[in-house]
């Protein structure tokens, strides 16, 4: 075989090899999405609720069923971790803005102060579409029971044993719930690296249904 023919053969061989590799890589990454864990006891799914959003409308499980949800707990007068959490949550919102398969539920931990009007004013800071990013308030005990028993959110200084009037949850966790109601991820809402992982994991959940 001449030198010229050898060169052509080698070039052709590597082109074919690269094409085979790219085809395999595409097939593997498309057909085998990352498997996210499932949190809680076997069979645990987030249960029903009834809260009020920033528009004054009652929201229940029926309104979010079949959606991928990102959940947080905060309060509008918070000067500590909450501003950073919601700044980062707005990045999640912008990443999926207009996607009707994704919802964000921001629950108050101080519903006495977080009235519908207060939640509405707060939501306007992020230009939040109330159909996709809901700021929820309501009965304090119901909100806290939902956090602990359904979303499995607890703070390091958990106060579950104290009277509800004195109880206070202050956590930086974002919770990822899939469209079947299963918890699939927990993230540090004040850390953008963790929030970027959340964004990536939402994309993985979207692949699961393809």
- Concatenating the DSSP letter of every residue in the chain gives --HHHHHHHHHHHHHHHHHHHHHHHHHHHHHS-------SSTT------EEE-TTS-EEEHHHHTTSEEEEEEE-TT--SSHHHHHHHHHHHHHHTTT-TTEEEEEEES-TTT--HHHHHHHHHTTT--TTTEEEEB--HHHHHHIIIIIS----TT--TTS-TTT------EEEEE-TTS-EEEEEETT-HHHHHHHHHHHHHHHHHT-
Least confident of 6-15, 86-95, 151-160: 6-15
Whether residue 35 has pLDDT greater than 80: yes
Whether residue 135 has pLDDT greater than 70: yes
Residue 30's pLDDT is what?
54
Whether residue 194 has pLDDT greater than 60: yes
- Mean pLDDT taken over the chain: 87
Whether residue 156 has pLDDT greater than 50: no
Whether residue 131 has pLDDT greater than 80: yes
Residue 97's pLDDT is what?
98
Whether residue 91 has pLDDT greater than 60: yes
Residue 4's pLDDT is what?
56
Where are the chain's structural domains?
A: 1-32, 50-208
Check residues 98 and 23 and name the one with the higher pLDDT. 98
Q: What is the mean pLDDT of residues 119-137?
A: 98
- Fold entry, domain 50-208: Glutaredoxin (3.40.30)
């Amino acid at each position: 075989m001449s030198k010229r023919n050898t060169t052509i053969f080698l070039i052709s061989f590597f082109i074919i090899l690269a094409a085979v590799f790219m085809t395999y890589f595409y097939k593997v990454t498309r057909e085998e999405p990352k498997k996210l864990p499932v949190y809680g006891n076997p069979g645990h799914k987030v249960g029903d609720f009834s809260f009020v959003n920033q528009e004054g409308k009652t929201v229940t499980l029926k309104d979010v069923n079949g959606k991928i949800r990102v959940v947080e707990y905060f309060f509008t007068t918070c000067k500590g971790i909450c501003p950073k959490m919601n700044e980062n949550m707005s990045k999640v919102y912008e990443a999926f803005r207009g996607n009707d398969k994704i919802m964000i539920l921001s629950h108050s931990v101080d519903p006495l102060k977080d009235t519908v009007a207060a939640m509405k004013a707060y939501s306007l800071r992020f230009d939040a579409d109330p159909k996709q990013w809901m700021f929820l308030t309501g009965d304090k005990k119901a909100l806290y029971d939902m956090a602990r028993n359904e979303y499995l959110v607890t703070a390091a200084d958990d106060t579950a044993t104290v009277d509800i009037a004195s109880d206070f949850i202050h956590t930086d966790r974002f919770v990822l719930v899939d469209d079947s109601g299963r918890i699939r991820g927990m993230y540090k809402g004040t850390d953008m690296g963790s929030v970027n992982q959340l964004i990536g994991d939402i994309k993985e959940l979207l692949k699961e249904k393809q």
